Chains A and B, each alone.
Chain A
Amino acid sequence: MQRNIFTHSSLVQIMNADIRQNLRSKWFWTYSVLFGGFVAVMFSTGITESQIIGFVGLSRLMVTFMQVSMVILPIYVLITTVRSVVGDRESNVMEYMLSLPVSFSGYFWGKFSAKFLVTYIPVFFALLGAAVWGSITQLDVPWDLFMLYSALLAAMIFCFLGISMFISAVSHSQDLAISTAFILWLLLVAFLDLILMGLLLKLRLDAATVIGFGMLNPLQVFRTAVLVLFDPELTVMGAASYFILDTVSRGWFIVFAIFYPIALGGLFGWFGSYFFKTRDII
């Protein structure tokens, strides 16, 4: 019976079909080679022998990997995922697929799950490859850092997937969806530092309010969590570190950094699924 449910579940079938289609896209292979190649380049250029705030070896490599991930992953997830629902609608794929006994939820979350897997697995394996290669070449492997970074990457991908699936479900055209995703990404990047500093200086807002506002930005949360893992005092963040670490402990901040993006992505995904189910689908 369990096999039967698994085999015929529309979510599983849509996920399976979507993974197969994704594996044929140039985007996927470019992205996978980019991350795998990036780790190889970092090893070959001797980044593991350089130092940052006392960190050398694999920890140094992982920190750099996470910084690059923070730049590439959100925009990659947004641009590639935001077309999935609205693109299927425009190309009549959805009209046909949803003439089959496939539930609306199964279709939406099947595509969501497929995209999560094809986005997360390449970065996870790139990170894992670095750890394995490091242990082969006699470097100390910081497995605790590896686990936390893997969880942070999963949380960030989930978050941006939820946001892009929502945009995709409510948009009337692919052009509109891509523009919205791009503007959102620009805003989130701008709110990392520039606009926050502007708020602080121009509006003379309370620092706690500004930092609290900043912590609503999943990119900021990810960035701070990456920093706090290798710089427990958050010295590179300056004065903001006092507020953050006085408000929550380092451990709780890491918990927040993993669960907040997941909750945010889940919430947007749920709204996207709701819109998808209740509106005309074509």
Chain B
Amino acid sequence: MTQQFNNHIIQIENLSKRFKRQQVIDSLSVDFLSDQRIALIGQNGAGKTTLIRCILGQYNFEGKLEVLGLNPRKDRREILQQIGFVPQTPPPIKLTVNELMHFFERITKTDASAFKRISSQLGLEIDQNLHKPFYKLSGGMKQKLLISFALGRKVKILLLDEPSANLDPQAREILFAQLKDYSKNTLMILSSHRMDEIKDLVNRVIEMDLGKIVLDNLLTEK
């Protein structure tokens, strides 16, 4: 599926998104390649989350946006089978950890042992929290679980929206080490306010402001 598009995993041409009178993404054109680890930075309201939601097929948009050569609105399931996503704020899901993990296992066709392994590395033992409702976990525990659900899958794209926001320093370090070791053929887009934290991890920096790209730098491999 992806080979015919070489390593252009996401292709964007003149992408625009408007909410009523507010232009949130303004004629954006950019390509993301399979081996890139991108820091998506910018102030609040720059359009980072909106861009991520367009890629996830959650928003209608104007212009061209292709993910793995497919349309994110029309071919959602095929695309989302290849995307691991960590949201900025963990949602208040009422399922227990066990139920949520098995829901993920069935929906994403991934063995639960992969989630448990990554979660354990981050310092959260899933087996000790199986019967706790997800929404009653602490912020850090929720984030660790969602990270393990995203990284436990074999995907072509990782979208991480402020993934370390609720993590303690030790868990952050482990997370970034895991991201560094993650498959080199996976496109990784990290939305963050803290460039200093992810600068060693990424090889491309894109800064957005008022829905436009104001900086696009390729970094040398470290």
Contact = CB atoms under 8 A, between A and B. Distances in A.
Interface in A1-41: 7-8, 10, 13, 16-17, 20-21, 24-25
**Number of chain A interface residues as a range:** 20 to 34
Interface residues of B, number: 31
A21 B108 contact: no
Contact of A93 (B56, B59, B93, B133): B93
Contacts of B99: 17, 20
Contacts of B106: 7-8, 13
Given A95-B58, A101-B81, A104-B76, A24 B91 contact: no
A282 B87 contact: no
Interface string B124-161: 00000000010000000000001000000000000100
Contacts of B92: 91, 93
Contacts of B109: 8
Given A7-B106, A101-B81, A282-B53, A96 B87 contact: yes
Interface string B69-87: 0000000111011010101
Contacts, number: 77
A33 to B, nearest CB: 20
Nearest to A87: B92
B107 A13 contact: yes
A279 interface: yes
Nearest to B146: A96
Interface in B82-111: 83, 85, 87, 89-95, 99, 103-104, 106-109
B107 A103 contact: no
B111 to A, nearest CB: 14
Contact of A92 (B57, B83, B91): B91
Contacts of B107: 8, 10, 13, 100-102
A144 B65 CA distance: 58
Name the residue in A92, A97, A278 with the highest tally of chain B Cβ atoms < 10 Å from its Cβ. Answer: A92
B58 A21 contact: no
B60 interface: yes
B157 to A, nearest CB: 11
Given A95-B58, A280-B58, A10 B95 contact: no
A103 B77 contact: yes
Contacts of A98: 56-58
Nearest to B54: A280
A13 B58 contact: no
Contacts of A249: none
Interface string A91-133: 1110111111111100000000000000000000000000000
A102 B53 CA distance: 15
A101 B109 CA distance: 10
Contacts of B53: 95, 282
A24 B76 contact: no
Nearest to B56: A99
A282 B159 CA distance: 17
Contacts of B94: 21, 24-25
Contacts of A281: 58-59
A10 B77 CA distance: 10
A25 B94 CA distance: 9
Contacts of A24: 94, 133
A13 B107 CA distance: 7
Interface in B155-206: 159
Given A93-B91, A101-B107, A282 B77 contact: no
A279 B61 CA distance: 10
Contact of A17 (B57, B80, B89, B103): B103
A24 B95 CA distance: 9
Interface of A: 7-8, 10, 13, 16-17, 20-21, 24-25, 91-93, 95-104, 278-282
9 cross-chain pairs, A with B, having the tightest CB-CB distances, nearest first: A99-B85, A93-B91, A101-B80, A21-B94, A101-B81, A92-B91, A101-B77, A96-B91, A280-B59
Interface of B: 53, 56-60, 76-78, 80-81, 83, 85, 87, 89-95, 99, 103-104, 106-109, 133, 146, 159
29 contacts: A8-B106, A8-B107, A8-B109, A13-B106, A13-B107, A17-B95, A20-B95, A20-B99, A91-B91, A91-B92, A92-B89, A93-B93, A95-B87, A96-B90, A96-B93, A97-B91, A98-B57, A99-B56, A99-B58, A99-B87, A100-B80, A101-B78, A102-B80, A103-B77, A104-B76, A280-B60, A281-B58, A281-B59, A282-B53
